Amino acid sequence: METIKKTILIVDDDPDYLFQLRIIVENFGFKVITADSQKEAEKIIDKIQPDLAIFDLMMENEDSGFILSYRMKRKYPEVPIIIATAVTAETGINFDMNQEFDKRWIKADLFLEKGQRPDQLHREINKLLKI
């Protein structure tokens, strides 16, 4: 009996990062859908409910990842969302999902710095999907 693969939506405007992440996540055994912009991702979210989403923070807008998270949670509240970003390294701004203030306005379930090791990413995805 074949098991149905879980679907992960990955959105990032950096084509190299998007390609690398797609390969890594497919190698974990997931089906992957990609988008290279907030606008393209919004069209996908309207039609498809992924099992998990990974959003870049800054794309067309500085807060594209937050906007996508908000829209995804309104439509599919149970879908876990990871925001993968280099914003901390670039700006020093840090988001703490354990702080009540950040949790109230940030609709993502987890922040990851870009450049995570594949095994760390795999653990986090499995934890969020409760695998």
Check pLDDT > 60 for residue 2. Answer: no
DSSP, collapsed to helix, strand or coil, labels residue 114 as: coil
pLDDT one-digit tens code per residue, 31-55: 999 999 999 999 999 999 999 999 9
Question: Would you tell me which CATH number, out of the four given (3.40.50.880, 3.30.930.10, 3.40.50.2300, 3.40.50.10800), belongs to the domain 7-129?
Answer: 3.40.50.2300
**E strand intervals along 1-131:** 7-11, 31-35, 52-56, 81-85, 110-113
- The pLDDT value recorded for residue 36 is 96
What average pLDDT does this structure show over 73-80? 95
For the stretch 93-128, pLDDT in tens is 555 445 554 445 456 888 888 888 999 999 999 999
Helix H or strand E encompassing 85: strand 81-85
- pLDDT class of 89 with cuts at 50, 70, 90: very low
This prediction's pTM: 0.85
Query: pLDDT value at position 116?
Result: 83
